[in-house]
Amino acid sequence: MNPNDYELTPSASEETATSEAKTKKRVRVKKPKAERKEFDGYCYIAAFLLPFLIMLGVYACLGKHPFGNGSVLTLDLQAQYVYYYEAIRRLLTEGGSWLYSFERTLGGEFMGIVSYYAASPFNLIFVLFPKNMMADAVMFMQLAKVGTMGLTFAYYLRKTRKTSDMVTVSFSLMYALCSYSVVQLIDPMWLDAVVFLPLLVLGIESMIRERKFILYTVSLVAIFVTNYYIGYMCCIFTFVYYLYYYFLVCDELPQNPKAESGNKIKRLFCSRGFETLMRFGVFSILAAMISAFMLLCAWYSLQFGKTDFSNPNFDPTLRFDFLDIFVKMLPGSYDTVRPNGLPMIYSGMLAVLALPLFFMSKTISSKKKALTAALLLFFVVSFSVNTVDLVWHGFSAPNWLNYRYSFVFSFIVIVMACDAIRGLKKIPFSWIASVGTVVALLVLVVQKLGYTFAQAEGKTNDLDDAKCIVISLILVGVYVFILRYMQYDKMEKSGAFALAIIVCVEMFATSLITVGEVQMDVGTVQYDNYLSDNGKTEYYSGYEGAIRRIEHVVNEVLEKDTSLYRMESTVYRREGGVNEPMAFGFNGISHSTSTLNADVIRFMNTLGYSSQAHWTKYLGGTSVSDALLGIKYVVTKNDKLDPNVYTVAAEGKEDYKFIPTENTIYAMQNTKALSLVYGVSPDVMTELNDFNNPPYRSALDIQNELVNTMLSGVMDTPNVIRGIYADFTVDNCRYSTYSHSHDYIDENGEKQYGPTKYHVFTPKEGEDTATITYAFEAEADGPIYFHVAGVLFSGMSTDCQIYVNGKKVCNYFTNESWVIQNLGTFEKGDSVKVEIEFHNGLLYYAKESDSVFYYIDYDAMNEAFSALEYASMYVEEYKSDARFSGTIDLPAGQELIFTTIPYDEGWQVYVDGEKAETVQVLGTLLAIPSTEGFHELEFVYRPDCAVYGGILSILGIVIFAVLILWSLLAKKRTRVSANGGAIHFFYHKGDEVNGWALEMAEEEAANASDEVAKPQETLPETEMAEENAIASEEAPMEEAPAEEASAPETKSEE
């Protein structure tokens, strides 16, 4: 019995009856067959397996491995998440730090990635698969989540509505394979909330009606921990649903007599509304407290720049036409996951038909209809009004994949449909036929309007008649026929079976259509091949095959060199691939994540690397910047990297699945690469305050200034990178200069406002192509680098190509190409002709730098890096990315311990056993002021968020456990037993149940006693089933579970 159940005080006559009952033999009253509790396992098994197997069938039809050479990897799942899963699998199987990782850009906290992308318990599936089957593991994880959605929804229905097996399976399948679930398989970290939502709703209902708190608290914790972002959205829904459900059942809740007397304040605090609200608030806070170990780490991660990622417009504009809501509820209505996308709210055609029937049903109260209509209206407003939608998304506009909370709408609609079907016999068939006719006419209207969805820029997706209109019309007719069939008593079971079959067919067909549309919209990844059997290069290369291309070379380096360094690769799995470090487990600078570090991204861009928005990539840079950042190895197809600096460390053959090649993969070692920690001049703290200022200077000038400042006072200015002066001529364009004022940071760290001069090249009228030509001689042996500083002005051309001595070398001014470009290796005195050809716009670049072409002075580089290497830290112990130690010898003039680790307050640095002060330098990096001489260093990453979050979580678990234990003890103290009308009462002052609740408990117990005292009537099985069905139809939406609603078993105790 629940600790919140009521206690009754026995009367004298009841005590007498009890004493007499003790002399009798214990007798168990056998329940009628219709009331006996049956095994629900088969229903739950079907609810799990059907969506699992249907999605597996969809993947088989689409040729996903092992049924073909396709994979489930697409969009961010192939570009980001699968790499995070590789890292999670490595942590689970090999160990390591969950707090920090050097596998992301320069290094950064890792719990932010875990809390957003990889905290799902379903990720344990990855451990069950070998490393070379990660794509298969991802597919199995997706299927497991879809199956569990069906399972939890079936559990919710059985506990609240006592639906039959077939009806339960039908609606659970509709929930598991609604369009949100199928589309968001490409974002599986959001699907855990869909799994736990039915349990959360059941927990809310149980807490309001029965004062139970365990299920609500555990469900909310699960949603918080698995993904805080969707957890935030579930919090909004939880509060809305709490209000909805409380007002729905408030008249049925017992009222405290104290709320009917006394002053207003006393009546308020004693009211059932206030008490219920307090319980809701307390256990919501407790759930957040238990989740603090994850939530605080997520919050800490957001402070690095995610909160400034977008600048949304909060104007309350309408986002789409209201008819779009109806269209998006139809099968085959996928539009796009791009920024133009509409809500994914298709939940089965049965739901579309049953939605009007819900409001026509005579078994559903007017109050419930009104409240549910208000709930639906709330979501329609949320979808359509921009301001409300932004609140749902955490006050930040989503980047693609809009309406990320729309699964809640599907849940409400499917529950409403279930309630309508339960009351089906009370709805005249003429009404059902009328609804079917109206829905069919609306579908025909949609066809007549010629619906077109916007996708990518300049691309549309027409609503397909065969996939949407025809299927919708067929399903309307079939479902109307089946609903009529189910209205007959003798046909009810067979009708429910037919309903389940049709739902299975519909969800399979629509899932197949939806997954296919997603692939056409954003592409997909092959499983194993990079080159197809006809030799055609694919835009998306195979995942497993691409991993194997370079895995043996990477592993050889990692096995030979176990020290702390960075490594990078120019052999990308696909165009734009940036997360290779996490796939292989090496420390790199390439990375893409929404949990970005804005300072690091600006820093890498300042140095000339490809770095924008939320990603960085190993493009650009020089052997100098690589050496400064400790990039010791580069995996590449080219063994001709700067021969003055690089040597071959490892090599191996590059093999494709279909086409064996003689191509070789190399691991090139930068012989000048420094440690991640080394001594520099303290002037770095004061002379480079404007380092991360917007890039109006060439990145090559900035790299040279950085080296000069690092060795200020140690040696004469080394100038390791030198500019090449070159005249230019123009063809088909006019040349002029332009001054543009902007904010900047001066050498004293003060914000100033001033002009920057720009070269401006304007194509002549009528000319499509303009050319700027530079001619000069190479001033030294080695590479020549090119970089143009500036900003992207309106009307500026981004269609630009660079030719060197007549051969195209690269594009420029696009996202990935506007970086330092290596134009090739030359010998001193070689003639170099560089042509910059641009189209469709003007060309700007800043005049702050005297040169756009540069070379490296290797004599100066050798001298400068010898001094820096002498002051480098020798790493003696590298336990994990969150803890390493070693020694350093700082010469005079290099007393600042400089690191290429991003500044983070979580880093605690100990110098000679004493905790040292850390400072931020270059606007990004961690440094420790120190003194000349030999020192022992220890770096430990221990952020406050992890410490305090852990403490709060432990405290929350202890409080939760105490409350559960208290409930169990109260349950033992509080008992209600019926023995032919005798009632035993044991009341304790500390129990939660108050006197105002006892009256109701006495009445309920008396009724139970009367039921036991009555002679058991035997009804025919069909009549019993009918009576139960009618009772079920007339019962409210949220009735108690069947086993609790039935009369309790009674015993005569000896």
> pLDDT per residue over 684-711, tens digit each?
999 887 787 755 788 999 999 999 999 9
Is 187 a member of any domain? yes
Q: How far apart (Å, rounded) are the C-alpha atoms in residues 76 and 528?
A: 18
The pLDDT of residue 999 is above 50? no
Is 966 a member of any domain? no
pLDDT digits (tens, 9 = 90+) for 18-39: 444 444 444 455 555 545 555 6
Kindly list the distances between the CA atom of residue 546 and the CA atoms of 457, 634, 663, in Å, as whole numbers in the listed order: 30, 17, 14
Q: Which of 400-409, 424-433, 792-801 has the lowest mean pLDDT?
A: 792-801
The angle, 0 to 180 degrees and rounded to 10, between the axes of the packed helices 272-290 and 214-226 is 40
User: Which of 799 and 857 is assigned the larger pLDDT?
Assistant: 857
The angle, 0 to 180 degrees and rounded to 10, between the axes of the packed helices 134-161 and 543-560 is 120
Long-range contacts of 993-998 (CB under 8 A, 24+ apart): 993/4, 993/5, 993/6, 993/7, 994/256, 995/257, 996/254, 996/255, 996/256, 996/257, 996/258, 997/6, 997/254, 997/256, 998/6, 998/7, 998/8, 998/9
From the number of C-beta atoms within 10 Å of its C-beta (0-12, 13-18, 19+), residue 232 rates as middle
Residue 1034: the pLDDT is 41
Nearest to 352 by CA among 321, 372, 325: 325
Residue 703: the pLDDT is 95
- The CA angle 142-144-148, to the nearest 5 degrees, is 120
Mean pLDDT of 214-236: 98
- The number of angstroms, rounded, from the C-alpha of 607 to the middle of its chain's C-alpha atoms is 30
pLDDT digits (tens, 9 = 90+) for 596-620: 899 999 999 999 999 888 889 999 9
The pLDDT of residue 594 is above 50? yes
pLDDT digits (tens, 9 = 90+) for 933-943: 999 999 999 99
Residue 162: the pLDDT is 86
Q: How far apart (Å, rounded) are the C-alpha atoms in residues 221 and 291?
A: 6
Q: How far apart (Å, rounded) are the C-alpha atoms in residues 168 and 688?
A: 67
Residue 697: the pLDDT is 82
Structural domain range at position 222: 41-70+110-253+310-522
β partners of residue 82 = none
pTM here? 0.86
Residue 1030: the pLDDT is 39
Mean pLDDT of 520-530: 79
Looking at the structure of the chain, the number of domains it has is: 1
Is 151 a member of any domain? yes
Mean pLDDT of 1031-1036: 43
Is 1007 a member of any domain? no
Residue 301: the pLDDT is 95
> For residue 991, what are its two tokens?
């129990």
What is the DSSP-derived secondary structure letter of residue 1035? S
pLDDT digits (tens, 9 = 90+) for 236-283: 999 999 999 999 999 888 876 666 666 666 666 667 888 899 999 999
The pLDDT of residue 8 is above 70? no
pLDDT digits (tens, 9 = 90+) for 901-937: 999 999 999 999 999 999 999 999 999 999 999 999 9
Residue 199: the pLDDT is 98
Nearest to 946 by CA among 189, 109, 286, 302: 109
Residue 794: the pLDDT is 60
pLDDT digits (tens, 9 = 90+) for 345-391: 999 999 999 999 999 999 999 999 999 999 999 999 999 999 999 99
The pLDDT of residue 424 is above 60? yes
Residue 258: the pLDDT is 65
Nearby residues of 158 by Cβ (< 8 Å), 6 or more positions away: 40, 43, 168, 1041, 1042
Residue 267: the pLDDT is 62
pLDDT, averaged across the chain: 85
Is 952 a member of any domain? no
Q: What percentage of the chain reaches a pLDDT higher than 70?
A: 81
Nearest to 922 by CA among 694, 698, 689: 689
Nearest to 525 by CA among 573, 459, 570, 571: 573
User: Which of 6 and 282 is assigned the larger pLDDT?
Assistant: 282
Is 886 a member of any domain? no
Q: 3-state DSSP call for residue 902? A: strand
pLDDT digits (tens, 9 = 90+) for 60-114: 999 999 998 889 999 999 889 999 999 999 999 999 999 999 999 999 999 999 9
Q: What's the pLDDT band for 743 if we cut at 50, 70, 90? A: low
Q: Which of 53-67, 163-177, 776-790 has the lowest mean pLDDT?
A: 776-790
Is 914 a member of any domain? no
Mean pLDDT of 975-993: 39
Residue 310: the pLDDT is 66
Is 473 a member of any domain? yes
What is the DSSP-derived secondary structure letter of residue 682? T
Q: 3-state DSSP call for residue 936? A: strand
Residue 260: the pLDDT is 66
